[in-house]
With several copies, the nearest count.
Chain A
Amino acid sequence: MATHEQTSPLDVAVLREEFPVLGRHVGGDVTAPGEGADDDQPLVYLDNAATSQTPRAVVEAMTDYYYSYNANVHRGIHHLSQEASVAYEEAHDRVAEFIGADGREEIVFTKNTTEAENLIAYAWGLEELGPGDKVVMTQMEHHASLVTWQQIAKRTGADVEYIRVTEDGHLDMDHAREAIDENTQMVSFVHISNALGTVNPVEELVDQAHEVGAYAFVDGAQSVPNRSVDVGAMDADFFSFSGHKLCGPTGIGVLYGKAEILEEIQPYLYGGDMIRSVTYEDSTWEELPWKFEAGTPPIAEAVGLTAALDFLDDVGMERIQAHEEALTAYAYDRLTEFDDVTVYGPPGDNRGGLVGFNLEGVHAHDLSSICNDHAVAIRAGDHCTQPLHDTLGAAASARASFYLYNTRDEVDALVEAVDNARQLFA
């Protein structure tokens, strides 16, 4: 464990001050939310791949919205509506800038990553796929894309193929070259696996998709939070992520799509704000991105997301990545010291900020419960990658995932809790 740097590029103590929840104590009654008298253990929050915590700047930006310029957007002429519209539209610009898109017309706000995937599956897939066509995914897909494309393929008669995962948690790129063939219309894959931590070779897969004339949809739910992403450089056709995983609010996600492709796709949700003109007989559609945003959008959430991106840029994405990688490598090293612990995925020094593992003879849910008894919050289950878990031969796994505010001491607390579980069940 001495092989990894002991000092973080971040001033974590100062950053933690921005996240009030990190000061919480837990352990008592869970049916009354918030800290109660019987909550007496300081929280160690290591469930960031599920959702990240929210800094003051984000909550305050949303409060400011509700307390000073809350209004419906787009077509309002009055003062508040104009302020809200400017803020809402500029949120698209801010996201475009953050991920290297060309402009707001390439940024559609959805409710989460899952809906971004479904949007393209419904608007493009349901229309364009048919028998003989193929959607290629990976064995490590999250249910958000796996179930979506699987079901849309079933409904259209298209085939689905999954790029195999090797023993050490990487994609089998030989199999990828085979699977992505002339019949392939869509290649949909995770940038970073939320179960294995694997960082996939995005450019290579995008190129392979384009070589056969297929679209590439990159699920960035686990990558945008902790590294600098450039959708233009990776040449992805579609890209998605969620606000709640990168210091932003719940209730908002992002679909990026190349403008020329989004232009051609028919709308998905119908309703107000996405139309140009409507008669009782037929309708025509608004310009991008509004064509894909029906009804009152997540306005406060867009304001919160903007604040989250500002917060992350202030901290610095490179430094966040370095901090997470160091912490992850440290956790990997410490956990692999236990002979009876299996850590999934690639080696510790090239992965996203998470470690999935199992303790021999102990169900992951029990392990997670015991960690919880130590106030260490980790997730247990299949992490929405049930088929992958079947191939791993594990019904469930435990997962610790890190973010910019986590410390080596917190990793130590995790290791201690795991060690305690070992002894309890010995």
Chain B
Amino acid sequence: MYRQQILDHYRNPRNYGELSDATFSHTGENPSCGDEITVDVVLNENEAIERIAFSGDGCAISQAAASMLTSELTGMTLNELQELDRDDVLDLLGVEVTPMRIKCAVLAEKVAQDGAKIYHGELDELEQTTIEG
């Protein structure tokens, strides 16, 4: 799993940080690895993602996936975001992720999607996203 590209994103994460003017912000964790990721999003008037950033820490897979995913998301509409599934993230990573590590890989995607749902009022009480085994 630990191809050069993954390690590179882990060492030098893209879009790492926080956005003080975020339209919405959401946090999630993967309790089995202790991975934690917060995603901040600034939308434009078409509900497309103008800027995105993530922060948090955890294993290389979760952090690299967040780095690679956020790079892809810029420009996407929230509807397009919701249409992504786990295979899209796995394709992005470009390596075979073993079943027990898939939770790590999809954490950022799930956080972004849940954040958008909460923003749309579709998920109400959810305070934090959790990826279960």
Contact = CB atoms under 8 A, between A and B. Distances in A.
Direct contact of A and B (CB under 8 A): yes
B2 A363 contact: no
Contacts, number: 60
Contacts of A277: 31
Contact of A85 (B11, B34, B99): B99
A224 B57 CA distance: 38
A39 to B, nearest CB: 13
B99 A363 contact: no
Given A363-B58, A365-B104, A424-B2, A77 B34 contact: no
A365 B33 contact: yes
Contacts of A395: 33-34
Interface range for A? 20 to 34
A293 B10 CA distance: 35
Contacts of B2: 366, 369-370, 373, 424
A74 B99 contact: no
Nearest to B2: A424
Contacts of B1: 369, 373
Contacts of A75: 32, 100, 133
B28 to A, nearest CB: 13
B59 interface: yes
Contact of B101 (A81, A85, A365, A424): A365
B98 interface: yes
Interface string B2-33: 10000100110000000000000000000111
Contact-size category for B: 20 to 34
B100 A77 contact: yes
B133 A31 contact: no
A381 B32 contact: yes
A74 B31 CA distance: 13
B91 interface: no
B122 interface: no
B132 interface: yes
Contacts of A338: none
A66 interface: no
B61 A85 contact: no
B53 interface: no
A287 B103 CA distance: 14
B60 interface: yes
Given A75-B32, A287-B132, A369 B99 contact: no
Contacts of A31: 99
A381 B1 CA distance: 19
A109 interface: no
A366 B100 contact: no
Contacts of A85: 99-100
A369 B98 contact: yes
A76 B99 CA distance: 10
Given A286-B133, A370-B2, A363 B31 contact: no
Nearest to A425: B7
A76 B100 contact: yes
A290 interface: yes
A2 interface: no
Interface in B101-133: 101, 104, 130, 132-133
A86 interface: yes
A366 B10 CA distance: 11
Nearest 10 Cβ contacts at the A-B interface: A395-B34, A363-B59, A287-B132, A365-B59, A366-B60, A365-B33, A366-B59, A276-B31, A77-B100, A82-B100
Given A82-B98, A369-B98, A372-B98, 6 more contacts: A75-B133, A76-B100, A362-B60, A363-B33, A366-B2, A396-B33
